[in-house]
Each structure stands twice: as C-alpha cells, then as structure tokens.
Structure 1
Amino acid sequence: MNSQKWMSVQFFIFFFTWGVFLPYWTGYLTNVKDLSVASASVIMGAGMIARAFSTLILFPELTKRYSIHLFLRMLAIGSLATFVLYIPLSSFTMLLLITILFSLVYPNLLPAMESSASLLMQKDRIHYGRSRSFGSAGFMAAVLVIGFATARYGEQAILWVMIGALAFVVLATALKAPTALIDKPKKEHQVSTWQLAKVLLQQKEFLIALTIVILIQGSHASYNSYSFIYLQDIGVSNSWIGVIINVAVLAEIVLFMLADRIFGKSKVQTMFMIAAIGATVRWIAIWLFPFASVFVATQVLHAITFGLAHYAFIQFIARTLHKSSIPTAQGLYAAFAMSLSSALLTFMGGYLYDLQPGLAFLGMAVFSVPAIILILAQRSKLQA
C-alpha cells in the first residue's frame, strides 16, 4: 500500500469515529444517560480541556519517544480500552471522570494523523486534500449510519457503533506504515516541547495564523455540540438529522478534493478571510431563521468555515516549518483551536442554548468577526 492510500485509509476510519463522537455524544448523554443540556455541556467541556492539555503536552512529548506509527497504534488501543468504560457508568461524576480519561487519549489521534500527513507531504509528496477528503467521507458515512441506527434502535446505538468503529481504528493502525512514519526520533536533535512551542509562538507570523484559526475553529463549538439536539428541538427526525449533517460533510469532501487544485497556490490570508466571513454569515443565519431549510442551506458553508480554515493552517505549517517543528505546531493547533477554544465556547453555548437555542449559534459570531478584523490588520504578516 503506497503512502497516499495508507493515509487515506487512516483518515477514513478515524473520521468515522469522529463523526460518531463529535455530533452525537452530547445527544447520547442527554437522551440515554438522562443528563440535562447544562450537565452534558460541563462533561463535554471538561473533556475538551483535558484534550487541550493532552494534545499540547502529552502528544509532542510522546512523539519524541516513539515513532509516529507506533504512537498511533498505542492511541488506538488506549482509546478503545477507555471508551468501553462508558457501558456500565451512569452517574454524572463517573461520566465526567471517564470523559476526562478518554479525552486524554482519543483526541491525540487527530494531531497524530495530521502530523503523519504533513510528514508524508514533505517526504513522499502526497496530496493532502485528496487523502483528507477520505476523512470527510468517513465522517459522512458515520453520520448516515448513526442517523438510521438511532432511528431504528434509539440513541443507545451511538455507544455500540462507536465501540465498533474504534475497533477498526485499532486494525487500521496495525497496517504496515510508510517508512517516514516508522523511523524513531533522533534524541540528539531533540529539544523540549516547551522550547519548541516558545520558539514557534515567538514567530509573529505563526502566532497570528494560530490566533486566526483558533477564532474560526472555536466558533464551531455550538455547531459541534448542539446541532443534533437543536435539530430535534425544531422537529427533525433522527434519520433526517443524519442526512442534514451530511450535507456539511459532503461539501467538505468536495472542498478537500478540489483544494490542492484551487487553493494550492493561494495565500493563507486569502483562505482565512473566506473562512471567517463564511462562519459569520453561517452563525447569524441560523439565529435569524430557525428553520430546518435554512440550517440545511448553511451546511454548505461548512466547506469553507471549517474545511478551508483547516486546509489553510495545514498549508501554512507545511510551507513555513521544519519537519521537527510540525508535531509541536499540530499540538498547539489541536490544543487551542480544536480543544480549549471549543471547551470554553461549549460552556458558553450551553448557557445560551438554555436561554434560547438560536443564541448558542449567534454567540459564535462574536469570535468569527474578530478573526476578520485580525486578518485585515495583519495581512502583511501572512505571506505564506
């Protein structure tokens, strides 16, 4: 199996699990474990904080000790082993503890996958967008499976589909990996994670790019955590919820398939600006028009609000950083843009959702608008 195919398989199977956990787990906690939206928000937010710590500290440190492929295998096994603990647990305290434990392991698969892709872009010249589109396809497949499974068997099916999907991740990471991912890190060239992070954050261009992507990706917190229950609240059936969520994923697949051709030579600042404007329009529209038809229409914007912002940052680090800095950069991205910002905004979104569901989405525009302002103010610093 060549590097391009190997990466595509890994992305597909991992993002299948992501497509189960990200949009549906809050719904599982409220519908199956009988938690309130506020309590589920606390659990998910705490998990994201643990995820931020793990991807910022544990991920870069462990990639210095183990090859990226061995680390992927360890994470896959650890994720499955911790997730099965959800089966017997029901109390708020125990669900909180197991979510924190799971979040210290499972989310590291994401920066590990992205670091693998970045290394293979440099070493084997794989097309990132092509392989990443398989990840979006995996996410879409998961949403469809969950939509129909919950319609037939109830929300309890979410748990069992996730367990089965994690078992496939274990099998996928056992496949023979490209040589670039098997090589052990050379200790004589290593510096501490904190030193690498400090060096990166002292680079103004990197700090600006990271801040922009934190604001844009963080603004997806309410969408990621509350879309499932929001669509239920406005009267959409579970089977149709799966179809509606997949509109976003399908748009994302198209974006990643065409990204290298359309945006491969575009400036990072241009891609960020398109994403930030799209996010602002998206969240305001959902608040203004609480109808399923409008929600479906805004799903198309996911291709640019999430997909293009992500692609822009991956291109930024591939174009500007040495390979030794990539795991740390991915750790910072995963910790702050995909975890900590989402955790804080999930808490806020849960409070706003209890006041009025649409406010949870409007509140996210408070973070996408500053991204637009920052891009305009610092456009001369983003020349990658």
Structure 2
Amino acid sequence: MKSKKWLSLNYFLQFAVQGVFFQYWLVYLTVTKGFTVLEASSIFAMVYIGRFVGGVVLVTSLVNKFDMKISYRILSIGGLLSALLYNFTDSNLTLSIVTLFVGATFFSLSPLTETAASIFLRKENLDYGKVRMFGSASYMLTGLIVGTILAYISKEFIYYILIALIISHVIFVFIPLPKSLEDSERDEKEPISFYWIKDDKNAILIILLFFLLQLSHAAYNNYSVLYVESLNLSVKWMLGILISLSIVAEILFFAFSNRIPLEINIKNLVTFVCSVAVFRWAILAIFPNIYIFAFTQLLHAITFALAQLSFILLLNKNFSSRKILTMQNLYSSIAFQLSAFIGMYIVGYIWEISTEMVFAVSSLIALMALILSRKLRLK
C-alpha cells in the first residue's frame, strides 16, 4: 500500500475510535454503567494518565525492543483486549484501571503515526494536510453518525461500536508498512532515548511551549458545550452545528495546507499560532456572546490545526527520525495528555468562580507560550 493511502486509512480508523470514545464514553459510563457524572469523569480522566504513561514508557520500550510494525500490532491488539474488559465489570476501581490500559495501549498509537507522517513528509514530500484531514473528518463523521444511531437504540451499543472500530484497526495493522517507513527503520540504528533532551534546551522549550498552548485549550475542550448553553442559545439544534464549526475549519485548513511553503520560518509560524490563541481566548473572555463564539470556532484552524502542522515541520527541520519519535512521544504525553488532565481540574475550579475568568486565564497561558516562542532557536 502506498504511503499516502496507508497513512490516510490509519488516521481515519484511529480517529473513528477517538470519535466514539472521547465524545460518547461519558454517556456510556453514566447511562449504561450507572455512574454519576463526577464518578464517570474520574474514571474517564484515567485515559489521559494512560496516554501519558504509554507515550513516555511503553511506546519507547516497544520500538527499542521490536520495530514500528510489531509495536503497532501490540498497541492495537492490547487496546482491543483492554476495551473488551469494559463489558465484564461495573466496579469504579476496575473500570478506572481498564481505562488506564486503553489509554496506555490504543490511544498511545498517536506518536507512532505522527512519526510516520514526519518520515513521509521528509522522504516523499507527502502532503501532510491532505492526509491528516481524513482523521478530522473521521472524528466529526463518527460523532454525527453515532449520535444519530443512539437516538434510536440503547446507549449500551456504544460499547459494541467502539469494539467494532478497534477490530477494524487491528485488521489494518497487519497490512505491510510502506517501503519508505521500513527503509527508515533500517537506516536508523540509534536507540530511542529521552536522555539527550536534558542537554537540549531547545527541545525542552518546544515541549513546554506546546504544553502551554494545549493547556490554554483546556477550557474550550472540556467546557465548550456548557459555555454555549450558558449563553442561552434560543435555537437548541444550533448547538451541534456551532460545536462542529471548529472541526470543519480544521478540515478545510488541512485540505489547503499544502499552500504553506515548506521553507517558511517555523519560529514566526509558531509565534503567529500563539498570538492567535491569545486573541481567541481573550475575546471570549471580553465578549461572551454566541456570535463571537462562532467566529472563534473558525480560529481553531490556526490555534490547533496550524499548531499541529507547525510542530511536524519544526521536527522535520531540527531532529533525526529517532529523535522525532521521542519528541512525538513527549508531545502526545505532555502537551496533550498531561495538559488535558491538569487543565480539567484547573478549569473546573475556575469555572465555579466565573466563566469569563476561565478564558481570561486561557489567554494568559497562551501568552506565556507566545513569550517562549520568541526564545526558540530553530533552523
């Protein structure tokens, strides 16, 4: 299978699973398992811890011991076996452990896939945006389709839909890897390690910067639906459309991202992303109304999608393939999972005080990322 088709299908299947889990698993835990929202949230939060541990420890160990092909298979099959356990327990503690395992296995596939994308971009000049948009489209379509189906069937079927999608990915990982990916693994003899990072100030700054940038999204990621509802939206069916605007903007950006020249100054690109994030959260804090929210949804194409592309381009120009996997592990584990876990609690506390203050704090966090972006030393 050609690199573009392999990566597109990989993104599509992984994001389909994410679309079910991250949009509907709280529903499964509360309706099917009978937990309160607070109890279900504490169980669900374990997926972030699992992804953090999986990215930092498990993925690195697997790739060092085996290769990317075997690592893909172990993580995908491990995710399936872990997810199957949901049907055999109703205990809060056991479900928390199961969720931890699911996060550490299946949802730790992301750094491997992003590393593959970086290798294809470097070796074949792959159009990353055109491929990555399959993931965003899959996430949105899965959410819409599953949401429609669940209006007519029992919420218990969320579990069976999740299992079916994970099985489809397990089948996929037995397809041979593209030749350029196998060649890259043969050429790279350097073991994957985190030790070199302590001597690389730039690498530390990059991870810290993207951690802060993603942390600034915590309020939006966790409470956007509650925020829109707090604005007393008169036409209730518009809620889903408003929330989906960000993903539509993301897909459109990825579709046309090949127009961004590869020789662009990455430092300036990252600075631009952080500046827009500061602006995005600031105007939500200052002007809490539905029209401003709709406008800021379009900015998601910059604060998230362009940020993702910037990170890929940044790695390609400054790190070897082995170091790219290390950075992707840290990016997934720290910038996404740790920020989501910490942000969930920080935002929850501030939310009780003031909705507007949540986005003011988000803007300040993005400002810290902006300041760090000017300290980067990139090629």
TM-score using structure 2 length: 0.87
- Counterpart in the other structure of 1:247: 245
Counterpart for residue 10 of structure 1: 10
How far apart are 1:155 and its partner, in Å? 4.9
Kindly report which structure 2 residues correspond to 1:78-227, keeping only aligned pairs within 5 A, or say none. Answer: 78-153=78-153, 155-182=155-182, 189-191=189-191, 193=192, 196-227=193-224
Deviation at 1:77, TM superposition (A): 1.7
Say if 1:27 and 1:346 are closer, same or farther in 2 by CA, change over 3 A.
Answer: farther
SS in 2 for 1:90: coil
* Root-mean-square deviation over aligned CA pairs: 2.9
Provide the rounded CA distance (Å) in 2 between the counterparts of 1:357 and 1:154: 34
Which string of whole-angstrom CA distances, capped at 9 and with x for unpartnered residues, describes residues 224-252 of structure 1? 33345555666779975543333211111
Do the aligned residues in 2 keep the contact of 1:280 with 1:365 (CA within 8 Å)?
A: yes
Aligned to 2:48: 48
Distance 2:204 2:41 in 1: 29
Q: Contact 1:150/1:238 (CA < 8 Å) preserved in 2?
A: no
Residue 270 (structure 1) shift: 2.0
Q: 1:130 to 1:240 in 2, by over 3 A?
A: same
Q: 1:218 to 1:322 in 2, by over 3 A?
A: same
Q: Which amino acid in 1 is paired with 2:314?
A: F
- Of 328, 343, 346 in structure 2, the residue corresponding to residue 345 of structure 1 is 343
1:42 Cα shift?
A: 3.0
Moved more, 324-333 or 144-153: 144-153
Deviation for aligned residue 1:186? 6.1
Kept in 2, the 8 Å contact 1:143–1:243? The answer is: no
Deviation, structure 1 residue 179: 2.0
Any conservation in 1 of the 2:277–2:363 contact (CA below 8 Å)? yes
Residue aligning to 1:311: 309
1:67 maps to 67
Q: Distance in 1 between matches of 2:142 and 2:10?
A: 15
CA-to-aligned-CA distance 1:285-339 (integer Å, 9 cap, x gap): 4445555554333221111111111111111111111112221111111111111
Q: 1:279 to 1:161 in 2, by over 3 A?
A: farther
* 1:198 Cα deviation after fit: 2.5
SS across alignment from 1:331: helix
Write the distance in 2 (CA, Å) between the matches of 1:238 and 1:169.
Answer: 35
The alpha-carbon deviation at position 162 of structure 1 amounts to 2.3
User: C-alpha separation between the residues in 2 aligned to 1:7 and 1:145?
Assistant: 23
- Cα distance in 2 for residues equivalent to 1:110 and 1:84: 21
Gaps in structure 1 of 5+ consecutive residues: none
Distance (Å, rounded) in 1 between the aligned partners of 2:61 and 2:304: 28
Asked whether the 8 Å contact 2:212–2:335 carries over to 1, the reply is: yes
CA distance in 2 between counterparts of 1:285 and 1:27 reads 31
Aligned-residue sequence identity (percent) comes to: 29
After superposition, the Cα gap between the structure-2 partners of 1:330 and 1:13, relative to the gap in structure 1 and judged at 3 Å, is same
1:382 counterpart SS class: coil
Letter aligned with residue 120 of structure 1: F
Deviation (angstroms), 1:165: 2.0
Note if contact 1:2-1:178 (Cα within 8 Å) is conserved in structure 2.
Answer: yes
Aligned to 2:268: 270
Distance 1:8 1:251, change over 3 A: same
Instruction: Provide the rounded CA distance (Å) in 2 between the counterparts of 1:222 and 1:351.
Output: 11
Contact 1:52 1:334 in 2 (8 A): yes
Instruction: Count how many residue pairs are aligned between Structure 1 and Structure 2.
Output: 378
- Compute the displacement of 1:156 (Å): 4.4
For 2:280 and 2:32, the matched residues in 1 are separated by 30
Q: Secondary structure at the match of 1:189?
A: coil
Contact 2:218 2:343 in 1 (8 A): yes
SS at match of 1:87: helix
For 1:213, give the aligned amino acid.
Answer: F
- Seen in structure 2, the aligned counterparts of structure 1 residues 93 and 238 have a Cα distance that, compared at 3 Å, is farther
Contact kept in structure 1, 2:13 and 2:165, CA below 8 Å: yes
After TM superposition, give the deviation of residue 171 of structure 1 in Å. Answer: 2.3
- The aligned residue for residue 261 of structure 1 is 259
